[in-house]
Amino acid sequence: MPAPDDDPTDPSARPAGEQDPAGEARVVGVGPWEGPWPEDARYDPELLREGDRRNVADEFRYLTHEAVVAELDARRHPLHVAVENWQHDANIGSVVRTANAVNAAGVHVVGRRRWNRRGAMVTDRYLSVHHHADVAALAAWAAERSLPLVGVDNVDGSVPLETYDLPRACVLLFGQEGPGLSEEAVARCTAVLAIAQFGSTRSLNVGAAAAIAQHAWVRRHVFGQLPLRQEFHRGSH
């Protein structure tokens, strides 16, 4: 019997475009191709015939899954996203979905091999998901590729994400709900970055934190925006 997060009857395991958040069926995407079919072998005959109801960007409509992945592979960003997975954290799927949206080079699950795919909405099928048994294995993998491990958490010794100049090629490492980044993870990171908070809560949901940190990378390395000055962050505004 398939495990809950691999169950094909699980609505959350279906292509995202087939369901709205309330779980009610709705029609999204495009219908059958109209007019003469394109000759390009990247087009999927079944999608051309039946329509393309996947939750993909318009430029990928009617392309085979393999063709979409090949196109994404050709333009991946050199950002890797890693998350510790010791407790089957349901938020990991959200981290993966954002990594797909950013077109990260890969996602790394550290700890338990099985991870909770709810929230990923099948986006994991469009990127490489690596598994590492522990942080040491992830660190070795990153060192072989000269990729710094940059932790994201609000622990003692963290520095502000907002004023840190994120490396272009790197691994952003996130902790999980409850424990946050493990001590070993913190020890392995070249820096640990904290996202500024101003309310009562100790921390953000890791899915939200991962979205903020990945978007900080996009602002820095896709849009060329430099980090804010320390003085601004400290409250001179």
Ligand X SMILES: C[S@@+](CC[C@H](N)C(=O)[O-])C[C@H]1O[C@@H](n2cnc3c(N)ncnc32)[C@H](O)[C@@H]1O
Q: Which residues bind ligand X (CB under 6 A)?
A: 152-155, 174-177, 180-181, 194-195, 197, 202-204, 206, 209
Q: Helix-strand-coil percent breakdown of the chain, rounded to 5? A: 35, 20, 45
Number of other CB atoms surrounding residue 179 within 10 Å: 12
Residue 214: CB minimum distance to ligand X, A: 12
> How far is Cα 214 from Cα 135, in angstroms, rounded to an integer?
20
Q: Quick one: 53 or 215, whose CB is closer to ligand X? A: 215
Q: Quick one: 33 or 214, whose CB is closer to ligand X? A: 214
Give 175-212 as a DSSP string.
-BTTTBS-HHHHHH-SEEEE----SS-S---HHHHHHH
Alpha helices, DSSP H only, in the chain? Answer: 45-50, 65-73, 92-102, 135-144, 183-188, 206-221, 230-231
Strands 104-111 and 129-132 come out as: parallel
Q: Quick one: 44 or 111, whose CB is closer to ligand X? A: 111
Residue 204: CB minimum distance to ligand X, A: 4
**CA separation, residue 152 to residues 212, 222, 229 (Å):** 10, 20, 20
Question: Where on the phi/psi map is residue 235: left (φ > 0), alpha (ψ -120 to 50), or beta?
Answer: left
Residue 63: CB minimum distance to ligand X, A: 34
Closest residue to ligand X, judged by C-beta, is 175
User: How large is the greatest C-alpha to C-alpha distance in the chain, in angstroms?
Assistant: 62
Residue 91: CB minimum distance to ligand X, A: 8
Q: Quick one: 128 or 203, whose CB is closer to ligand X? A: 203
Q: Quick one: 122 or 211, whose CB is closer to ligand X? A: 211
Q: Quick one: 56 or 195, whose CB is closer to ligand X? A: 195
Residue 200: CB minimum distance to ligand X, A: 12
Residue 131: CB minimum distance to ligand X, A: 19
